A and B are shown apart, each in its own frame.
Chain A
Amino acid sequence: MRLSTIFITLSLIASIAVPPFLDLGLQFTLITALTAALFATAFNLLAGQAGMLSFGHAAFFGLGAFGVLHLMQVVERGFGVPTVLLPAFGGLVGLLTGFAFGYFATRRSGAYFSLITLALAELLHVAAPRWTSLFGGEAGISSMRMPSLGVTFGATIEVYYLTLAWFLISVGALYYLSRTPFGLLILSLRDSEERVRFMGYDAERSKVLVFAISAMFTGIAGGLAAMAIETANFSIFAMHTSAQAVLYTFVGGTAVFMGPAVGAIVFTLFAYWVSNATAAWLFYQGLIFVLVILFAPQGLGGILQTHYRARHQLDWSRLASPYVLYALGMAITAFGVVFVVHSIEILFSSSYRLAAEVEGGLPAYEMFGRAWGPLAPLTWGGPIFALVVGIALMRRSRRNIALVWADTREERVEARNLDVEEKRT
């Protein structure tokens, strides 16, 4: 059996079998993670595969959410749509608005395309609080999930399975699409729209269609999110929502199909655990984004894929010790960063200011189970030392890692040349 098949089977079994044993908070977080993962995968169809970087996908996420909530309200009044089918309506809303928005946005490319999508989403963000009949004003609209087909849809775990089913169907459909001739056309559009045109394809119509399909699956994700929390207001249209999709997708990696989904799941879980510990979690999220873009632009998925592809050529025994050293360097650096950020967070908090006023001067503060003096040399010297050591370790092992990879590449080139010569003779 292929490694990827094993991996997919195992994650599938885990995603079905494990959640009932988790606490409610984590179950709910997994629902959020799945909707975010679908959102990112749908976004990547446009951004990664077709090469059109949308900054306005909040529009379709939000419209899908509001669409489904409106339909839920109708169902509450006795209109018979099975609850399991509700997300499809979010998809329909996304598809139709996707055609309309896409028609305008795809007339330009590059930064202009991004700006048009941004403007269209902002238009909704500004209009929604004033458009009470459709978006419920500033409060937004709410509804209740109705029991259907013998399921109450009251328990979080039931909603989780509904979300999981829609996630699998949608991501499966998007994967299928990527393997069809139209999927090939989408990739070609990214590489050279001009060439596509001169090879007999209607590039304009193709772009609108990709845009609409991406918007459709984004609408499904929005619908699922709305069903989980049973409410939505205008803030769903904010730039923040669109930015999340960009962040997940680029950290996960645009070139690998499951990359964006992995990015979304990792970040959602990260937010769940870290936001409990510190108010600076958004800062850490941003920091990770910047570091990934700078040092690993292929993203997490890209890193995994590169290793997987070279698994037979790589000298793993030579790679092991520099990788361990690199990880160690990363951990030490991370400790230094967290120490400084957390200290600053405490020193600038209102409670510390209060303590300073009461006690006078700059009193010591409590962190990691001991007291630190704000002016003590160890308080700042410690983390700086950690940063220096950590970064030095990373730089050093990075060089060794690069050497091993260079050998691997050479081997591959040699293998290919041999192969070519054999074919010629």
Chain B
Amino acid sequence: MSGDTHILELSGLKKSFGALSIIQGVDLQVARGSRHAIIGPNGAGKSTLFNLISGAFPPTAGGIALNGRSIAGLAPAQINRLGLSRSFQITNVFAKQTVLDNVLIGVMARHGVRFNLWQFTSNMKELRNEAIALLADVRLDHRAETLASDLAYSELRALEIGMTLATGPEIILLDEPTAGMSREETSYIVGLIRRLTEGKTLLMVEHDMGVVFDLCDEVSVLVYGKVLMTGAPAEVRANREVQAAYLGEEAI
């Protein structure tokens, strides 16, 4: 069964908005346990692809299978419960709540504590400890009681990753996790991602080629809503078509 080797499979995936066709038949397999990057020029449809996979809107045609099960057209919440979690390119946290609560809500979702109206969250020791452990993983435990709106930018990006992990996904989708970061911040976040995706599958959109070639086992190049090629970073780097379409001179 293909669901065993490939955790995520896209087949003939299409999405158009009115007359505008953004995704024009994407076939893509993400191997279980791999770190897979999607690269491509601006407007290639990378974000749309993420939105389709995570359920922000349904595809016009084609299939999306998670663990061999079709998830095309399901709601974001259902897809998340099946083990796929995503981050956002533009930081999307609960600004007026503490860093701990930002993660705690994800941990609660993982344990199915969704509509609990009779227990105090402050008494849920196990869930809180789990959330604190997760904060320690993204090195934010010393900021647990700070309001998310008071965090520095790189801390916010770390929180963004922590929240994505909080619901206990098998596969995580990171949308430009290093966008807008300095060199040091980028290498810091890359280190976090490498450590935290151990034993999970990672699918990421990334503009920084250094990050992609450093972190990922497989790279797919998306151009005008189609996958131009998929392969190991070295293969992709060597491909003339890719160079012409996207990488340009500086990456060679």
Which residues of A line the B interface, CB within 8 A?
Answer: 176-177, 179-185, 187-188, 190-192, 194-203, 206, 209, 419-420, 423-424
B72 is an interface residue with CB less than 8 A from chain A: no
B202 is an interface residue with CB less than 8 A from chain A: no
Q: Is the CB of A187 within 8 A of B116?
A: no
Q: Is the CB of A184 within 8 A of B101?
A: yes
Q: Is the CB of B163 within 8 A of A180?
A: no
Q: Is the CB of A184 within 8 A of B120?
A: no
Residue of A nearest to B119 (CB): A180
Q: Is the CB of A187 within 8 A of B97?
A: yes
Provide 28 A-B residue pairs closer than 8 Å at the C-beta atoms, listed in order of the A residue. A176-B120, A179-B120, A179-B121, A180-B119, A180-B120, A181-B105, A181-B114, A182-B114, A184-B101, A184-B105, A184-B108, A184-B121, A185-B114, A188-B94, A188-B101, A191-B93, A191-B96, A195-B93, A196-B105, A198-B77, A199-B80, A199-B167, A200-B109, A200-B110, A200-B114, A201-B109, A201-B114, A209-B115
B59 is an interface residue with CB less than 8 A from chain A: no
Residue of A nearest to B127 (CB): A181
Q: Is the CB of A191 within 8 A of B120?
A: no
Q: By DSSP majority rule, is chain A's interface helix, strand, loop, or mixed?
A: helix
Q: Is the CB of B142 within 8 A of A180?
A: no
1/0 per residue B44-62: CB within 8 Å of A? 0000000000100000000
Shortest C-beta distance, A403 to chain B (Å), equals 22
B138 is an interface residue with CB less than 8 A from chain A: no
Shortest C-beta distance, B171 to chain A (Å), equals 14
Q: Is the CB of B80 within 8 A of A195?
A: no
B113 is an interface residue with CB less than 8 A from chain A: yes
CA distance A267 to B156 in the complex (A): 41
CA distance A198 to B53 in the complex (A): 12
CA distance A197 to B92 in the complex (A): 12
B178 is an interface residue with CB less than 8 A from chain A: no
> A192's contact among B75, B92, B108, B118, by CB below 8 Å, is which?
B92
Q: Is the CB of B75 within 8 A of A180?
A: no
CA distance A180 to B93 in the complex (A): 20
B203 is an interface residue with CB less than 8 A from chain A: no
- Chain B residues with a Cβ closer than 8 Å to the other chain, count: 37
Shortest C-beta distance, B252 to chain A (Å), equals 37
Q: Is the CB of B88 within 8 A of A197?
A: no
Q: Is the CB of A198 within 8 A of B119?
A: no
Residue of A nearest to B124 (CB): A181
CA distance A175 to B211 in the complex (A): 47
Residue of A nearest to B111 (CB): A181
Q: How many residue pairs bridge A and B at CB < 8 Å?
A: 97
Residue of A nearest to B96 (CB): A191
Given contacts A181-B121, A184-B104, whether A200 and B116 have CB atoms under 8 Å apart is no
Q: In the complex, what residues of B have CB within 8 A of residue A200's CB?
A: 77, 80-81, 106, 109-110, 114, 167
Q: Is the CB of A201 within 8 A of B120?
A: no
Q: In the complex, what residues of B have CB within 8 A of residue A206's CB?
A: 115
CA distance A209 to B117 in the complex (A): 11
Residue with the highest number of chain B CB atoms closer than 10 Å, among A176, A180, A200: A200
B182 is an interface residue with CB less than 8 A from chain A: no
Q: Is the CB of B77 within 8 A of A203?
A: yes
Shortest C-beta distance, A288 to chain B (Å), equals 26
Residue of A nearest to B141 (CB): A423
B221 is an interface residue with CB less than 8 A from chain A: no
Shortest C-beta distance, B109 to chain A (Å), equals 4
CA distance A177 to B116 in the complex (A): 9
> B108's contact among A181, A194, A203, by CB below 8 Å, is which?
A181
B86 is an interface residue with CB less than 8 A from chain A: yes
14 extra interchain contacts, Cβ-Cβ under 8 A, other than A181-B124, A192-B94? Answer: A181-B116, A182-B116, A182-B117, A184-B97, A191-B94, A191-B97, A192-B95, A195-B94, A195-B163, A198-B77, A199-B80, A200-B80, A201-B109, A209-B115
CA distance A191 to B96 in the complex (A): 7
Residue of A nearest to B122 (CB): A179
Q: Is the CB of B142 within 8 A of A197?
A: no
Shortest C-beta distance, B145 to chain A (Å), equals 10
Residue of A nearest to B82 (CB): A200
Residue of B nearest to A424 (CB): B142
Q: In the complex, what residues of A have CB within 8 A of residue B76's CB?
A: 197-198
Q: In the complex, what residues of A have CB within 8 A of residue B119's CB?
A: 180-181
B134 is an interface residue with CB less than 8 A from chain A: no
